[in-house]
Amino acid sequence: VMWCFSQVKGAIDEDVAEADIISTVEFNYSGELLATGDKGGRVVIFQHEQESKNRPHLRGEYNVYSTFQSHEPEFDYLKSLEIEEKINKIRWLPQQNAAHFLLSTNDKTIKLWKISERDKRAEGYNLKDEDGRLRDPFRITSLRVPVLMPMDLMVEASPRRIFANAHTYHINSISVNSDHETYLSADDLRINLWHLEITDRSFNIVDIKPANMEELTEVITAAECHPHQCNVFVYSSSKGTIRLCDMRAAALCDRHSKFFEEPEDPSSRSFFSEIISSISDVKFSHSGRYMMTRDYLSVKVWDLNMENRPVETYQVHEYLRSKLCSLYENDCIFDKFECCWNGSDSAIMTGSYNNFFRMFDRNTRRDITLEASRESSKPRATLKPRKVSTGGKRKKDEISVDSLDFNKKILHTAWHPKDNVIAVAATNNLYIFQDKIN
Amino acid sequence: MIMKGQKRKFPPEDVEVSDRCSPTWESQRQFVFSVSLSKYQRGQELPEPSLRRSVLIANTLRQISLEACRAPCVEREMSPCSSSSALQGKERESAFSEVTAAKHHSAVGFTNSHPALGSCPVPSSNYLSNCATNRCPASYHLNTSDVPLSVGDEDEDWGSMSTDPDFSLSAAISSILTALDSTIDGSPQAALRTPLRSLENLSRPSEGSMAGVKQGVRGYGGSWEQHQQQEEEEECRMRESNMEAMRSSYLSDLTVEDLFQDIDTSLLERDMGVLGFRGSGGGYPAGDDLLRYLPPFSPSSSTSSHPFSLSLNQNLKCLPSFSTFSPLSSSSCSSPSLSLQPSSPFSGQNHVREGLELEHLMEILVES
């Protein structure tokens, strides 16, 4: 697959407003819509335009469909804390009617948004004037029935449900269940199961908070529902373990059904072994047979039937292993990278530093490093593979480890569910790349 | 890629050294230890620390302490565990429980006002128990029996995260710092150290104790004879708190007068009378007066047997050093039940160091 540039969204200037930093990216089930959330609490939804009939060999573009303020900054008066409005995750619901639904969450509150189109307007009301004022009753001499007239398309977003006050700690994941009725939300210590219709209560299904907080050594970092089995979900921890739970087994799933952990390689042990083993993202494959986890230096693919080790391990930026001390100092070691599958589960993608992102083909075992930058942003320009030189002589076009910009990190990426179209969030810019169609 | 304000003591080799016997490993370990400690503390000062980050840093601290105990090729007196006797371990544990008992009271007081603190784990229990058992790191038995549970843990949805004061962190950090002292100071100075006393392991104040002391300080009254014990306790806690106060913004809430309100001025009054200085009635001179009175510290004054300077020395000895975590200066802060001993042996070197620290402290207090 040859990847080429398609579009970039977002401001160009070097001065990045903190509120514009993209914090989550997600395609919907059909790939028609692409949602992004940012630190300012806003959600921007892009829609895929139909390919133009004149040039069918080009994929259509994504254009802004709707923008709305999902979360506002809040103040917790009880704890004297400000609750950030940053959108941590967006998850789409499967489409059931003309409207689209998505869940968006910040640290504490989850909201269900309905995005609907309005392209008709009723005109000719009996009792009202066109501007809405009530007509003088004496002037009404005959009955008239309103008629629907076309109007400019208007996309409205309205909050339909607000799921609040269920999380003491910061929400890191939400995941819609395959039954399309429930979803789970996970914070550092607990996972709750919600019904989409019920906002005033949720079931707590996992609680790893110890009786004495001083004994706390592990937190939940990500959670996801199984794509087909509505009773199964997984959650990952800061110690590099994944637990698969079956909700049929017990009401409280503190005891896992499966426990996935790779034994540590003693030769690579360092002071930072635990920190780099912390899993930042977990994603089931579309097939439901595998799951993928991202820790600081690698991506691992696990077979759900084998708990003692992953079936595949891909090194994302192994050249950073010798730099862990510096990365610990500047806090980069705590960055949480996400990962994603392609539609057919044959390839996986994740981000790195210097606006690099990596893709691994599971079949051919080939990998590629690409860069999201304005320089390589000519329309339909093929992206040039990048390489980081690990030592010794630096070849031409290679970049040395010390020249990497650790402020330019790609934490959020998304892959279209069907086509080879990817969305890559680089700080405040959203890049859309697609494969070259001949 | 260094953070702002972070000074590197040892330039860390970027390649991780796995050989424990090499000095590079040790320097790396110390470096990571100090970085971790400052990260942890800085993270705790934030209004809402990230739990994941705090847990990871605390686990790293714990692991580093563990590796220090486990290090096989220790030639000099590096590891605190190797030098620790069972006595020290016992002392630590008793100090730990005393301190936590003391802090528990203050923790109760402040729960409502400082909610977002200390929901994070500490390396304390494991570290202490490991060192006490002298390099038996395999089992992590927790020293929880001595630790009073945090207040308000039952009402979890309301403030579970907020009502877990990390009072044991202070003890942990102090003991960790003691370990750091012994490693960083190296052998020549280590030989000069006074034998470790439980005093050394007294906690660094958490924000909780600071606020608790605030309440204590403001509400305190009465003659010193009746409340001498309490007074010393308050005073020392206050002194410790100053350390944290420097780093947090709490100092802005306190006036110099508040800080000096609980000084054991009985001796001071007597001495001031001797020297012709009149206090402003009530037996508690204003803070400014006291400051003015403080004699300039120089090596020569250290040898003076002036009664005031000696008692003041002891009163102010409780103040930990700001520049380095020197064991000598932090050594004498008493736990609540210990009384100040005028006859404790101090070499001239101690006085000099304390003198410099005292000046430094005074500068900071006055500036604030």
Chain B nearest CA to A18, separation (Å): 19
- What local confidence, expressed as pLDDT, does residue B154 receive? 37
A322 and B56: CB-CB below 8 Å?
no
Chain centroid to CA B356: 18
- What local confidence, expressed as pLDDT, does residue A247 receive? 96
- Quote the Cα angle for A272-A275-A281, to 5°: 145
- Chain A hits for B55, CB-CB cut-off 8 Å, are 216-219, 238
User: pLDDT digits over B326-358, tens only?
Assistant: 333 333 333 333 333 444 444 444 555 666 667
Nearest-10 Cα torsion for A392, A394, A398, A400: 60
Question: What is the spatial distance between Cα A275 and Cα B52, in angstroms, rounded to a whole number?
Answer: 10
Question: What is the spatial distance between Cα A117 and Cα B17, in angstroms, rounded to a whole number?
Answer: 61
Q: Which of A81, A169, A269 is opposite residue B51, by nearest beta carbon?
A: A169
A334 and B158: CB-CB below 8 Å?
no
B52 and A270: CB-CB below 8 Å?
no
Q: Does A402 touch chain B (CB under 8 A)?
A: no
B29 and A271: CB-CB below 8 Å?
yes
- What local confidence, expressed as pLDDT, does residue A376 receive? 81
Q: Which of A212, A217, A269 is opposite residue B59, by nearest beta carbon?
A: A217
A80 and B147: CB-CB below 8 Å?
no
Mean pLDDT across the stretch B101-127? Answer: 39
Three-class secondary structure of residue B309 per DSSP: helix
CA distances from A274 to A241, A264, A265, A326, B340 (A): 11, 10, 12, 16, 44
Q: Which of residues 403-432 of A touch B (CB under 8 A)?
A: 406
B63 and A324: CB-CB below 8 Å?
no
Phi and psi at A395, nearest 5°, equal -80, 170
- What local confidence, expressed as pLDDT, does residue B126 receive? 41
A274 and B55: CB-CB below 8 Å?
no
- Chain A hits for B120, CB-CB cut-off 8 Å, are 213, 216
Q: Does A331 touch chain B (CB under 8 A)?
A: yes
Cβ proximity of A409 and A352 under 8 Å: yes
Token representation of residue B55: 């847990």
- Chain A hits for B203, CB-CB cut-off 8 Å, are none
Chain B nearest CA to A415, separation (Å): 28
- What local confidence, expressed as pLDDT, does residue B90 receive? 44
CA distances from A312 to A134, A284, A293, A352 (A): 69, 14, 11, 19
Map chain A to HEC letters: CCEEEEEEECCCCCCCCHHHCEEEEEECCCCCEEEEEECCCEEEEEEECCCCCCCCCCCCCEEEEEEEECCCCEEECCCCEEECCCCCEEEECCCCCCCEEEEEECCCCEEEEEEEEEEEEEECCCCECCCCCECCHHHCCCCCCCEEEEEEEEEEEEEEEEECCCCCCCCCEEEECCCCCEEEEECCCEEEEEECCEEEEEEEEEECCCCCHHHCCCCEEEEEECCCCCCEEEEEECCCCEEEEECCCCCCCCCCCEEECCCCCHHHCCCCHHHHHCCCEEEECCCCCEEEEECCCEEEEEECCCCCCCCEEEECCHHHHHHHHHHHHCCHHHCCCCEEECCCCCEEEEECECCEEEEEECCCCCEEEEECCCCCCCCCCECCCCEEECCCCCCCCEEEHHHCCCCCECCEEEECCCCCEEEEEECCEEEEEEECCC
Chain A nearest CA to B185, separation (Å): 22
Q: Which of B14, B58, B153 is opposite residue A326, by nearest beta carbon?
A: B14
- What local confidence, expressed as pLDDT, does residue B255 receive? 53
Q: Does B166 touch chain A (CB under 8 A)?
A: yes
Give the ipTM of the model, two decimals please.
0.92
Chain B nearest CA to A84, separation (Å): 11
* Residue of chain A whose Cα is closest to the Cα of B6: A329
Residue with tokens 């040790």: B26
- What local confidence, expressed as pLDDT, does residue B256 receive? 54
Mean pLDDT estimate for chain B = 49
Three-class secondary structure of residue B163 per DSSP: strand
Chain A nearest CA to B25, separation (Å): 10
Instruction: State yes or no: pLDDT of B304 exceeds 70.
Output: no
* Residue of chain B whose Cα is closest to the Cα of A404: B1
Mean pLDDT across the stretch B116-145? Answer: 39
B121 and A215: CB-CB below 8 Å?
yes
Cβ proximity of A213 and B164 under 8 Å: yes
Q: Which of residues 66-85 of B touch A (CB under 8 A)?
A: 67
- Secondary structure letter of residue B117 according to DSSP: B
The residue ranges of chain A whose pLDDT is under 50 are none
**Are β-strands A412-415 and A421-426 bridged in parallel, bridged antiparallel, or unpaired?**
antiparallel
Instruction: State yes or no: pLDDT of B122 exceeds 70.
Output: no
Q: Does A322 touch chain B (CB under 8 A)?
A: yes
A275 and B56: CB-CB below 8 Å?
yes
Token representation of residue B164: 């877990």
A81 and B3: CB-CB below 8 Å?
no
Q: Which of residues 184-223 of A touch B (CB under 8 A)?
A: 188-189, 209, 211-219, 221
Residue B8's pLDDT band, with cuts at 50, 70 and 90, is very low
- CB pairs A-B closer than 8 Å: 127
Mean pLDDT across the stretch B42-70? Answer: 88
- Return the closest-CA partner of residue A159 out of A63, A43, A64, A46: A43
Burial class (CB in 10 A: 0-12, 13-18, 19+), B13: middle
- Return the closest-CA partner of residue A65 out of A30, A108, A36, A22: A36
Instruction: State yes or no: pLDDT of B140 exceeds 70.
Output: no
Instruction: State yes or no: pLDDT of B65 exceeds 80.
Output: yes
Enumerate residues 6+ apart whose C-beta is below 8 A from A424: A25, A351, A357, A372, A410, A412, A413, A430, A431, A432, A433
Most A CBs within 10 A among B16, B64, B145, B207, hence the mutation to make, goes to: B16
**Are β-strands A62-69 and A242-246 bridged in parallel, bridged antiparallel, or unpaired?**
unpaired
B149 and A212: CB-CB below 8 Å?
yes
Q: What is the pTM of this model?
A: 0.65
Domain boundaries of chain A, sorted by first residue: 3-435
A213 and B150: CB-CB below 8 Å?
yes
Instruction: State yes or no: pLDDT of B111 exceeds 50.
Output: no
Q: Does B64 touch chain A (CB under 8 A)?
A: yes
Higher-scoring residue by pLDDT: B120, A279? A279
- Chain B hits for A332, CB-CB cut-off 8 Å, are 1
- What local confidence, expressed as pLDDT, does residue B210 receive? 37
A213 and B124: CB-CB below 8 Å?
no
Q: Does B32 touch chain A (CB under 8 A)?
A: yes
Kindly give the interhelix angle for B51-70 and B124-132, rounded to the nearest 10 degrees. 10
Amino acid at B281: G
Cβ proximity of B120 and B55 under 8 Å: yes
Q: Which of residues 93-122 of B touch A (CB under 8 A)?
A: 115-116, 118-122
Residue A42's DSSP bridge partners are: A69
Chain A nearest CA to B149, separation (Å): 7
b (16+ CB within 10 A) / e for B329-339: bbbbbbbbebe
Q: Which fold has domain A3-435?
A: Methylamine Dehydrogenase; Chain H (2.130.10)
Chain B nearest CA to A137, separation (Å): 56
Residue B296's pLDDT band, with cuts at 50, 70 and 90, is very low
Q: Which of A213, A269, A323 is opposite residue B119, by nearest beta carbon?
A: A213
Q: Which of B3, B53, B125 is opposite residue A330, by nearest beta carbon?
A: B3
Chain A nearest CA to B151, separation (Å): 11
User: pLDDT digits over B47-58, tens only?
Assistant: 778 899 999 999
* Residue of chain B whose Cα is closest to the Cα of A210: B121
B159 and A274: CB-CB below 8 Å?
no
Question: What is the spatial distance between Cα A134 and Cα A121, in angstroms, rounded to a whole number?
Answer: 18
Enumerate residues 6+ apart whose C-beta is below 8 A from A265: none
Q: Which of residues 107-166 of A touch B (CB under 8 A)?
A: none
Instruction: State yes or no: pLDDT of B320 exceeds 60.
Output: no
* Residue of chain B whose Cα is closest to the Cα of A277: B56
- Chain A hits for B159, CB-CB cut-off 8 Å, are 78-79
Q: Which of A218, A272, A330 is opposite residue B55, by nearest beta carbon?
A: A218
Q: Which of A213, A221, A324 is opposite residue B16, by nearest beta carbon?
A: A324
B166 and A278: CB-CB below 8 Å?
no
Token representation of residue A428: 């405040």
